[in-house]
Structure 1
């Protein structure tokens, strides 16, 4: 039987929840949304330029954030998955990059789209270097302290990961998530995105910039999307009758999540759903059902 942990909040503050609101889960790729928020805030403050080429490369920070830099992804490496399954310690950064870039770039920056965790690793490293702050400190200063979200923090060791609510807890070193892995409870995941879309984190201009979406096509098999696209750290597109959704899904060993804002409902709703398994579509479909029940 599927175990769901879900929380939704409407624009007027109505809340609904099910499951364990105290348990902390790995946020997996929802961490990308936090990286993008931090990058946009640093851009507002003049610490980074989204359109400048970084570190002597041909791609920009914007292209890293919207997956148009042309970088491959380590998720395509058979040896990566074998090492994770065997419980090995994460590879050194240079070994990872050497393996992933063995065949070079996928395309010239700006000439295509390809999802890349490596791109987000480089984006995180860039904003850390530009600000002089760790990712943990950036998240605290820009996101969790202003929103009073007390459960969210990066997990970096097996011991920290062992405290999380998922089957892989204690067996998985989170360093395999090279862009960093935030963890927190389901309520704080939804409230992070709710805070973003209620104007508590970024200026109106930055929010507009963050939502400029690259269309990527139609329906995805096994998932509720009828169209899909990617903006800056945000997946975007309609989820069937729930309408347009903006947020991010995430998945890793033994658990998945979906954290989305639904702006086109009679009253906008933001929600998060975490569950066991390996297919993000299960969490996305359940979240769509929940927000329609609130509409």
Structure 2
């Protein structure tokens, strides 16, 4: 899963041989305070943080508990979820550099039977402009995810469904597109995806901890956690194997993700043209800027070019923010799929490293439905006719009880304001900020478009 932040940038890449300016002294005590405050506010159990300055890792530290009674350690793995997309995209670009495929090839050339497979291009699946509907727009594990799946089964269900829009005409985040990308890598290279990534990317960059999150994690690594509203924090049950594949299957340490970032800064894997293709925002057919390259957000924070992506798996959140021209990156991995600790920590630590790098705010919209459902949940009620099958699946008796027990004592909020709106997997993608005198919450709402559209997701999280 992914959270797009902010506004865009478009821009020339620095040459691979550029020397970075001398880094500012790093205030490690300030980082400790930022992380401690975010974990306390959100009750996220742990976070692992790495900082790159001057093109090298200068800080790596873990905080909190990575499992019940287990202090967090910096060499523990966390799933990076959708941050994996930039790695999948790079694998495609490596094959393009070798002349084995073109970004403008139709996806049907390599994966037959897909809807509009003769018209959708590889560039469009990597930039979320293909029209393929996202198979996992929810921020929770839906019922089918309790069962193992193969990539081709995902594509048979979602890759052969009608497109949500004509290819190239809109931007809509789609995990489905990156499952297609993973299958293209396997078809063209003749290798399983993880074997290709290990041999061609992880080994050259020294990323010794990188594994398939479904099979490679152990009890020495971080454990997933979940929460209903402000209820008890519980160890979560991961989705069954196979659901993430090329869209988000990787796990690693924060330091190894930082090594990936350094590889991007130093242009270690791709040609100059390959990195330019990945890091240039794709334009829609209308000429509108998508603010997204190939597997990564392309942003501008003040005068700084920023490459950013977040990730979400069951029980985990992550954020990776890179200022490639400055030789700076901040990696934050945490072991909870609630709250916003990962993005709060990433932004605040980046502000310590690059004080003039300021992300822009999102635009606001309407909020009547969100307010109504929030009030229902505070009272421990739920009008199930308002929800889809998956929405009702999420609201178990335990979930409803936790929502009431944790929200009712807060009373009526001072305000509820919409902070984001978009489209995801055929559903709206709405975010709201709920303000109380001494705390702030965040609502994520996804619903069928149009008047009377049923709600696919309504989740409440503590906000940092």
Partner residue, 1:175: 242
Match of 1:8 in 2: 51
State whether structure 2 residue 162 is matched by structure 1 residue 108: no
Matched, 1:186 2:245: no
The answer to whether the aligner puts 1:276 opposite 2:276 as a matched pair is no
CA RMSD of aligned residues (A): 2.9
User: Which residue is equivalent to 1:17?
Assistant: 60
Residues 1:68 and 2:126 aligned together: no
Structure 1 residues 205-220: aligned runs within 5 Å: 205-214=273-282
**Distance in 2 between the 1:287 and 1:277 partners?**
15
Provide Cα deviations, 1:9-31, integer angstroms capped at 9, x if missing partner: 11253602221320001111011
Q: Is the 8 A contact 1:210 1:232 kept in 2?
A: yes
Q: Please list the CA deviations of residues 219-256 of structure 1 after superposition, one character each: whole Å capped at 9, or x if unmatched.
A: xxxxxxxx9821101112245x6954203210121110
TM-score (normalised: structure 2): 0.55
Find the partner of 2:292 among 197, 219, 230. Answer: 230
**Residues 210 and 92 from structure 1, CA distance in 2 versus in 1: closer, same or farther, beyond 3 angstroms?**
closer
TM-aligned CA distance change 1:83 to 1:68, over 3 Å: same
Asked if the contact 1:9–1:270 (Cα under 8 Å) also holds between the matched residues in 2, the reply is yes
Deviation at 1:149, TM superposition (A): 1.2
Give the number of aligned pairs: 278
C-alpha contact 1:8 1:269 (8 A) present in aligned 2? yes
Equivalent residue, structure 2, for 1:121: 179
Shift of 1:156: 3.5
Larger Rg over CA atoms: 2
What aligned pairs does 1:219-258 form with structure 2 within 5 A after superposition? Answer: 229-238=291-300, 243-258=304-319
Name the CA shift for 1:215/1:254 in 2 (closer, same or farther; >3 Å): farther
Measured after TM superposition, the shift of residue 284 of structure 1 is: 2.1
Distance 1:283 1:82 in 2: 26
Structure 2, unaligned runs of 5 or more: 1-39, 63-72, 110-116, 226-234, 355-464
Seen in structure 2, the aligned counterparts of structure 1 residues 4 and 204 have a Cα distance that, compared at 3 Å, is same
> 1-side partners of 2:189 and 2:321: how far apart?
28
Quick check: 282-291 or 198-207, which moved more?
A: 282-291
2-structure distance, mates of 1:163, 1:206: 37
Q: Are 1:138 and 2:191 an aligned pair?
A: no
2-structure distance, mates of 1:95, 1:133: 19
Residue in 2 that maps onto 1:31: 84
- The answer for the alignment partner of 2:106 in structure 1 is 53
Structure 1 residue 120 displacement after superposition = 0.3
Q: Once the 2 structures are TM-superposed, how far is the Cα of residue 215 of structure 1 from its aligned partner? A: 7.0
Q: Where does the alignment leave 5 or more consecutive residues of structure 1 unmatched?
A: 217-226
